């Protein structure tokens, strides 16, 4: 449109729009067609992702492999959240594992209580009160702690998966950002918190299952989560929820909220003089990222049948960052491919050349930040731009 | 609780303090002065520990006669190796990322992963330990009922000596003057004829070398494994931030406090809960004093 | 404080490391007044604006604006109350387009939820177009702000202020780095947008000051040296001494 004499403006979706002179009727056909194809073009990446996730992968893989991909998808939730928080909000969280872990543990608590109440042997212990999970009795915790009790209800546990981690994330982030502590300090604080989270879980074995985590979780709402049937169902649920998450993230980024975030990332001090409270916005985006991670964590427990501190610590939290970095820190969809590729590579390496894995990961951590900051998404857009220019 | 027990706990805290302080001083130079987040600092410490181990192995095989000197030589070897590695790291990587602290963090994490795997393949997955030199065996009893292992007394002295050395280097030497001038005003220092790129490289190398010395000291109180660095990195960062990133004294005092707290908290709590409690305490303290314990108010 | 007063700064002081940047200053702005602050470097002009808009907290004194005590408020609250600030170096959101820069400045529900469901409706679009036209940027709406020339960035920042619809504008050297032609256009622009608003402007260009100022205050070492019309200030012997003598 550049070079045209017609004034150009933006419409609500941030698309180019020709402001037509008064005497031209705005329902000019060519304009409608152009905007129509434009809108369709924008949908391509998400449609392709949906086809890959919902049709190609389930058709191509046997249940065992599909289960693995389902696991990678759980981490993709964290990666999508990090695009919002890090790519657009400039907040590099090295503690997404905390929220992943919270979601995972909340789901595990519900499933553990379900399994315990279904197990006649367990009822022997909680004399008089509700039945007590096996690992508690092993650690001589004889009554169910009060804060465990509400999680026996699915109507409490499911909302809690989203609400508890995001509320915790919001409170923490708002308190810190209000003090104008940010950047690298926030990263170090989240890293320390991830460390604390794991230490507490390990230290409070009687209530959390300690290093082993919470295991033996065979059912959810009475359905087995271990059958081949369940692998497919849970895979589709994960993929479906992930696509919904991406759509929600897209909605956030396309809205004025997304633009304020970019403004905060680039000129935080100036944003205050546009009348915004940056701490509030950063805390909100951090809470949204935490909620995404928590959903991933809950799905992880459903698919893998356990919750454990091993997926919450510093190393897994930083690994989530590299998923996002590989896929492209500014691309919601790219980050999903990042999580899938690295997850796939990890499985490949662990089966074929165990020693190579750490070198491969290490190299990724070095190469992407140094030479490919926009990740795969940046590479793709570079290639497609060149094509456009060539044609 | 008896006085003896308390004293020995305090002494245990001092041992931890030496490791934290040596690590954190190196980190404070790299992070506080240069603003570089080096996530591989823990692995550099492990590298120093492995170098000390290697030195002792070489001595016991070929120079058993002067085995007593092996630890002292080990410290020097550890410092030189890690400093040389730091120089390399600065030249090929850090230098290109100075304006992007978050990217530096990720890239150095990559280095730490690679180093861990190298350690695992070269030295094996099982922890190795360095035999204590004969002149460091035994204990010093300043009062009846209190036995202080000589090896630990030695590393406390080593820590104090290193701290003094760093102080003299930074504040009394010509190199220190160059470093401080570059950190305060890069453009001015460059205009005054200082080779700022070289100063950066040397500063980073010295910081890394100190991690190596920390590794040597560590061999006196614990064994070394591929994951050793990971165990200390968060604590070291917390020590630096808690002390106020630009203050060496602050780093020293904060290492002392955290070491003591860890040791004292371990009495009522389990080890992991003690560590969690300390990290939490430090985060809360930082919340109320964001620029650390020993920061000076400056005009912003 | 008279009825027509919009801003009243009284006994305002601030010091940095013992250096008094502003020393017991009294300073008033009337409604619809273009009030220019001049003074040599280090006189405390920018510091004064910083304190009015909340960037720097005063160590003593009060800043009253429409019955509010600005010295107790945060930057974004002061902005929402109707004070707009333009910085010395133009600060616009370089990764956003001109249109998006203006959109962000539109004063509507500046909380996360409000932003999430904000739509660019006809009213907003109309306002964006009107302001873009006013600051000579109609043809640049879809360009990234980072690609604009220095003068255009200055205009965009003024446009962003206008979107905020403040009653008091604080402008720090609005014509710095502009060509003669751009200065002239900016002078006209400021006069046009001054209708219904008050302004405090810091400027060194005396021709420009002469052409826009209703009232001039001369600061020197954190204190008020002289105040009044441009003519009166120019002929004040103390002012002449500070600028030319010593």
Quickly list DSSP for B92-152: HTGGGGTT-HHHHHHHHHHHHHHHHHHHHHHH-SS-B-PPPPGGG-SEEEEETTEEEEHHH
Q: Does the pLDDT of residue C31 top 90, yes or no? A: no
Is residue A2 classed as helix, strand or coil in its secondary structure?
Answer: coil
Over range A32-61, report the average pLDDT. Answer: 79
One-character DSSP codes across A180-223: T--HHHHHHHHHHHHHHHHHHHHHTHHHH-GGG-B----EETTE
Could you give the C-alpha distances from B25 to A370, B41, B89, B229, in angstroms and in order?
27, 11, 19, 16
At C21 the pLDDT is 83
Mutate to test the interface with C, among A38, A260, A273 (most CBs of C within 10 A): A273
Q: What is the pLDDT of residue A24?
A: 47
Q: What is the pLDDT of residue A14?
A: 47
Rounded to whole angstroms, how far apart are CA atoms B133 and C75? 63
A199 CB neighbours in chain B (<8 A) are 272-273, 275-276, 279
Task: Quote the pLDDT of residue B294.
Answer: 61
Instruction: Find chain B residues with C-beta within 8 A of A358's C-beta.
Output: 113-114, 116-117, 120
The distance of C52 to chain A (nearest Cα, Å) reads 12
Q: What is the mean pLDDT of chain C?
A: 84
B109 Cβ under 8 Å from any chain A Cβ: yes
- pLDDT of C189 over the 50 cut: yes
Cβ-based contacts of C75 with chain A (< 8 Å):
272-273
The tens digit of pLDDT for each residue in C33-74 reads 888 998 888 788 888 888 888 888 888 888 888 888 888 888
Indicate the residue of C75, C96, C142 with minimum beta-carbon distance to A262.
C96
Strands A8-10 and A16-18: antiparallel
pLDDT of residue A12: 47
**What is the distance between the alpha carbons of residues C191 and C183, in angstroms, rounded to a whole number?**
12
Mean pLDDT of B246-260: 84
Mutation target among B28, B30, B94, B102 for the A interface, most CBs of A within 10 A:
B102
Which region, left, alpha or beta, applies to residue A6 given φ > 0 means left and ψ of -120 to 50 means alpha?
A: beta
Residues in chain A with CB shorter than 8 Å from the CB of C85 are: 273
DSSP 8-state class, residue C62? E
CA–CA distance, B6 with A324 (Å, rounded to integer): 49
Split at pLDDT 50, 70, 90, the class of A139 is: confident
Taking one residue from A and the other from B, the number of pairs with CB-CB distance under 8 angstroms is 113
pLDDT tier for residue A1 given thresholds of 50, 70 and 90: very low
Computed over every residue of chain B, the mean pLDDT equals 85
pLDDT in tens, C149-161: 888 888 898 889 8
Q: Which of C80, C110, C112 to mutate to test the interface with A (most CBs of A within 10 A)?
A: C112
Q: What residue in A sits closest to C118 (Cα-Cα)? A: A256
Confidence of residue A62 (pLDDT cuts 50, 70, 90): confident
- Residue of chain A whose Cα is closest to the Cα of B31: A184
Does residue C245 surpass a pLDDT of 80? no
Q: What is the length of chain B? A: 300
Q: Which positions in chain B touch A314 (Cβ < 8 Å)?
A: 230, 234
Homologous superfamily (CATH) for C5-244 = P-loop containing nucleotide triphosphate hydrolases (3.40.50.300)
H or E element: which one contains B226? none
Return d(Cα B178, Cα B200) in angstroms, integer. Answer: 10
Say whether A358 and B37 touch across the interface (CB within 8 A): no
pLDDT at B48: 94
Gap between the Cα atoms of A176 and A287, Å rounded = 13
The distance of C43 to chain A (nearest Cα, Å) reads 24
Q: Please, which chains are in contact with A (at least 3 CB pairs closer than 8 A)?
A: B, C
Q: Give the ipTM of the model, two decimals please.
A: 0.87
Report the pLDDT averaged over residues B152-179. 88
pLDDT recorded at residue B1: 55
Q: Nearest chain A residue to B276 by CA: give it.
A: A196
B175: nearest Cα among B193, B197, B209, B202:
B202
Q: What is the pLDDT of residue A7?
A: 46
Mutate to test the interface with A, among B38, B110, B245 (most CBs of A within 10 A): B110
- Min CA distance, A42 vs chain C (Å)? 18
Return the residue of C nearest to A261 by Cα. C112
Q: For residue range A292-338, what is the model confidence (pLDDT) as tens digits?
A: 999 999 999 999 989 999 989 888 999 999 899 888 888 999 999 99
A10 vs C120: CB contact, 8 Å cut-off? yes
pLDDT for A15? 47
Pairwise CA distance, residues A45 & A380, whole Å: 11
Q: Which residues of A touch B230 (CB under 8 A)?
A: 314-315
Q: Does B106 touch chain A (CB under 8 A)?
A: yes
Interatomic CA distance for residues B254 and B257, integer angstroms: 5
> Cβ B110–A188 below 8 Å, yes or no?
no
Residue B272 and residue A359: Cβ atoms within 8 Å? no
- Between B181 and B205, the more confident residue is B205
How do the domains of chain C map onto residue ranges? 5-244
Nearest to C120 by CA among C97, C137, C136: C97
Check CB contact of C165 with chain A, cutoff 8 Å: no
Chain centre to alpha carbon of residue B152: 16
Has residue A391 got a pLDDT over 80? no
pLDDT of residue A167: 96
Residue-wise pLDDT tens digits, C104-120 = 888 878 888 878 888 78
Residues from chain A contacting residue B113 (CB–CB below 8 Å): 358-359, 361-362, 365
Say if CB C22 and CB C16 are below 8 A apart: no
Instruction: Give the distance from residue B269's alpha carbon to the nearest chain A alpha carbon, in angstroms.
Output: 9
Query: What are the residues whose beta carbons fall under 8 Å from the beta carbon of C205, sequence distance 6 or more?
Result: C175, C183
Residue B38 has pLDDT above 60, yes or no: yes
Q: For the ranges A39-43, A210-214, B200-204, C179-183, which has the lowest average pLDDT? A: A39-43
pTM: 0.88
Would you call C5 helix, strand, or coil by DSSP?
strand
* C79-101: average pLDDT: 87
B241 and A196 within 8 Å at the Cβ level: the answer is no
pLDDT tens per residue, range A74-93: 999 999 999 999 999 989 99
pLDDT at A21 over 70: no
pLDDT score of A127 = 58
Identify the residue with better confidence: A5 or C108. Answer: C108
pLDDT band at B122 (very low <50, low <70, confident <90, very high): very high
pLDDT of residue B299: 34
Residues of A in contact with C70 (CB under 8 A): none
Q: Pick the residue with more confidence: B251 or A12?
A: B251
pLDDT band of C234, cuts 50, 70, 90? confident
Comparing CB atoms, the residue among C55, C95, C110 nearest residue A262 is: C95
Nearest to B290 among A179, A187, A369 (CB): A179
Architecture of domain B3-134+152-288: Orthogonal Bundle (1.10)
Q: Which residues of A touch C52 (CB under 8 A)?
A: none
Scan residues 125-184 of A and list those with Cβ closer than 8 Å to B.
Answer: 175-176, 179-181, 183-184
Q: Cβ of C129 and A19 within 8 Å?
A: yes
Question: How close B21 comes to chain A (CA, Å)?
Answer: 18
């Amino acid at each position: 449109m550049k070079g045209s004499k017609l004034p150009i403006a933006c419409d609500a979706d941030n698309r180019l729009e020709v402001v037509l002179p008064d005497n031209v009727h705005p329902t000019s056909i060519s304009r409608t067609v152009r905007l129509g194809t434009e809108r369709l073009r924008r949908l391509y990446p998400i449609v392709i992702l949906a086809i890959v996730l919902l049709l190609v992968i389930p058709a191509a893989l046997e249940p065992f492999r599909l289960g693995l991909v389902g696991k990678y998808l759980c981490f993709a939730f964290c990666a999508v959240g990090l695009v919002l928080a890090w790519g657009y909000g400039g907040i590099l969280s090295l503690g997404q594992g905390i929220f992943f872990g919270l979601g995972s543990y909340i789901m595990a608590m519900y499933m553990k209580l379900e399994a315990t109440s279904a197990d006649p042997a367990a009822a022997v212990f909680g004399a008089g009160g509700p039945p007590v999970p096996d690992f508690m009795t092993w650690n001589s915790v004889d009554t169910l702690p009060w804060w465990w009790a509400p999680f026996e209800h699915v109507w409490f546990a499911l909302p809690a998966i989203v609400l508890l981690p995001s509320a915790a994330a919001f409170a923490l982030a708002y308190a810190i950002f209000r003090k104008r502590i940010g950047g690298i300090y926030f990263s170090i604080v989240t890293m320390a918190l991830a460390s604390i989270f794991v230490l507490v879980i390990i230290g409070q074995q009687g209530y959390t299952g300690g290093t082993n985590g919470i295991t033996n979780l065979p059912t959810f709402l009475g359905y087995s989560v271990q059958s081949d049937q369940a692998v497919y169902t849970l895979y589709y649920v994960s993929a479906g929820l992930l696509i919904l998450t991406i759509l929600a993230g897209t909605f956030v980024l396309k809205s004025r909220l997304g633009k304020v975030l970019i403004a905060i990332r680039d000129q935080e001090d100036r944003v205050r003089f546009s009348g915004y409270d940056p701490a509030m916005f950063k805390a909100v985006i951090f809470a949204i990222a935490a909620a995404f991670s928590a959903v991933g964590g809950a799905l992880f427990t459903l698919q893998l049948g356990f919750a454990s501190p091993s997926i919450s610590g510093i190393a897994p939290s930083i690994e989530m960052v590299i998923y996002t970095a590989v896929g492209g820190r500014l691309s919601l969809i790219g980050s999903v491919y990042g999580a899938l590729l690295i997850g796939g590579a990890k499985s490949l390496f662990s089966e074929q050349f165990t020693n190579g894995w750490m070198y491969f990961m290490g190299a990724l951590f070095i190469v992407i930040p140094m030479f490919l900051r926009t990740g795969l998404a940046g590479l793709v857009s570079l290639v497609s731009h060149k094509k456009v220019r060539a044609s | 609780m008896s006085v003896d027990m308390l004293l020995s706990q305090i002494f245990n805290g001092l041992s931890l303090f030496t490791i934290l302080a040596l690590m954190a001083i190196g980190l404070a130079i790299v992070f506080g002065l240069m603003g570089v987040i080096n996530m591989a600092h823990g692995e550099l410490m492990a590298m120093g520990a492995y170098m000390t181990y290697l030195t002792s192995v070489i001595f016991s095989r070929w120079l058993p006669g002067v085995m007593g000197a092996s630890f002292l030589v080990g410290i020097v070897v550890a410092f030189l190796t890690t400093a040389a590695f730091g120089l390399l790291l600065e030249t090929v990587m850090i230098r290109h990322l100075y304006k992007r602290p978050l990217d530096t963090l990720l890239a150095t994490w990559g280095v730490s992963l690679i180093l861990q795997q190298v350690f695992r393949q070269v030295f094996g997955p099982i922890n190795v330990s360095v035999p204590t030199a004969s002149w460091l065996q035994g204990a010093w009893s300043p009062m009846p009922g209190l036995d202080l292992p000589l090896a630990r007394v030695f590393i406390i002295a080593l820590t104090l000596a290193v701290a003094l050395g760093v102080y003299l280097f930074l504040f009394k030497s010509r190199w220190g003057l160059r470093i401080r001038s570059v950190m305060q005003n890069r453009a001015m220092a460059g205009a005054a004829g200082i080779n700022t790129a070289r100063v950066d490289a040397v500063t980073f190398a010295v910081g890394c070398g100190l991690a190596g010395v920390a590794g040597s000291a560590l061999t006196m109180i614990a064994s070394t494994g591929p994951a050793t660095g990971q165990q200390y990195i968060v604590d070291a960062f917390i020590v630096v931030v808690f002390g106020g990133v630009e203050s060496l004294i602050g780093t020293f005092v904060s290492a002392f406090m955290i070491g003591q707290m860890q040791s004292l908290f371990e009495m009522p709590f389990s080890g992991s809960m003690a560590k969690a409690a300390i990290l939490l305490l430090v985060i809360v303290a930082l919340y109320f004093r964001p620029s650390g314990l020993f920061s000076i108010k400056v005009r912003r | 404080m008279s009825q027509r007063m919009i801003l009243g700064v009284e006994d305002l002081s601030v010091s940095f490391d013992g250096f008094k940047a502003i020393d017991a200053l009294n300073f008033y702005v009337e409604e619809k007044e273009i009030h220019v602050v001049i003074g040599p470097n280090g006189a405390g002009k920018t510091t004064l604006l910083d304190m009015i808009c909340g960037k720097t907290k005063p160590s003593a004194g009060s800043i009253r604006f429409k019955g509010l005590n600005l010295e107790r408020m945060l930057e974004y609250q002061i902005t929402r109350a109707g004070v707009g600030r333009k910085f010395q170096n133009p600060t616009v959101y370089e990764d956003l387009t001109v249109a998006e820069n203006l959109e962000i400045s539109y004063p509507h529900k500046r909380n996360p939820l409000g932003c999430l469901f904000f739509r660019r409706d006809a009213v907003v679009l109309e306002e964006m177009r009107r302001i873009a036209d006013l600051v000579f940027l109609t043809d640049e709406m879809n360009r990234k702000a980072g690609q604009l020339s220095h003068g255009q960035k200055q205009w965009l920042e003024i446009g962003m202020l206008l979107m905020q619809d403040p009653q008091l504008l604080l402008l720090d050297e609005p014509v710095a780095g502009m060509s003669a032609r751009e200065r002239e256009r900016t002078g006209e622009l400021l006069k046009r947008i001054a209708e219904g608003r008050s302004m405090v402007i810091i400027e060194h260009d005396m021709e420009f000051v002469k052409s826009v100022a209703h009232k001039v205050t001369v600061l020197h070492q954190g204190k008020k040296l002289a105040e009044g019309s441009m003519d009166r200030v120019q002929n004040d012997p103390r002012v002449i001494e500070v600028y030319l003598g010593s």
